Amino acid sequence: MMAGHLRRAEDRDAAEDWLTALKRAFLDSTNVAGGQLKRHHQRKYVLQVAAFAFAIAAALFLLLVPGYSEVSQSNDGPEQVRTSTLLETIGPGVLLPLLVSVSLTGLPLLLRGRPQRYASIAAAIALSIFAVLGSLSIGWFFLPATIVAFIALFSPSEKPNAPRTHPELSH
């Protein structure tokens, strides 16, 4: 029993290390803090990053947090409760839908321009279909990512104001 708790603690530590490394690599590659993104793209970009983060959080929660319990009792012994994670209960087959969901929200972050817009539309629609189809099991966990993906999709672009010049000075 102690080995199971130790392994889960190690899994959580590994997941935290992985998320920290992912965040550091992401911020280094985009240099958001350095202001290299155009102002009118920042809102959509931040919302897409938030959708991606929600999807990663949902997948890690489903993989690492025990969601199943089994109670057994022998004739002469005390009741024993055993908990297990989604991965332990269902097996590696659960990784594919989780990976697809996370990949869908991450795809618009890799593209720019018109392809990014199309990928955002496809990702939001596919993620909502996944959330509805999986609503009896894991779909609800991806609802926050779906909502934020749609908010990013319909978020108005903040076009920078064109510089104003006086007509007489432009000659």
Q: Within a domain: residue 168?
A: no
Least confident residue range of 6-15, 33-42, 127-136:
33-42
Residue among 138, 125, 143, 146 at smallest CA distance from 48 = 146
Which domain covers residue 65, as residue numbers?
2-70+77-154
Q: 169 and 117 in contact (C-beta within 8 Å)?
A: no
> What is the number of domains present in the chain?
1
Mean pLDDT of 68-89: 80
Helix axes 95-110, 114-133, angle to 10 degrees: 160
Examine residue 164 and state whether it is found in any structural domain, yes or no: no
| Angle, vertex CA 122, rays to CA 121 and CA 126, nearest 5 | 120
pLDDT value of residue 131 = 87
Mean pLDDT of 115-129: 90
Q: Is residue 171 part of a domain?
A: no
- Specify if 132 maps to a domain: yes
pLDDT at 156: 76
At residue 1 the predicted structure's pLDDT band, cuts being 50, 70 and 90, is very low
64 assigned to some structural domain: yes
pLDDT attached to residue 157: 65
Q: Confirm whether 167 is domain-assigned.
A: no
Task: Please tell me the pTM assigned to this model.
Answer: 0.64
Q: Pick 25 or 8 by higher pLDDT.
A: 8
Residue 162 lies in a domain: no
6 within domain boundaries? yes
Over residues 131-167, the pLDDT tens digits come to: 888 878 888 888 999 999 999 888 876 555 544 444 5
Q: What CA–CA distances, in Å, run from 121 to 37, 48, 148?
A: 21, 12, 12
pLDDT at 84 over 60: yes
Between 112 and 170, name the one with better pLDDT: 112
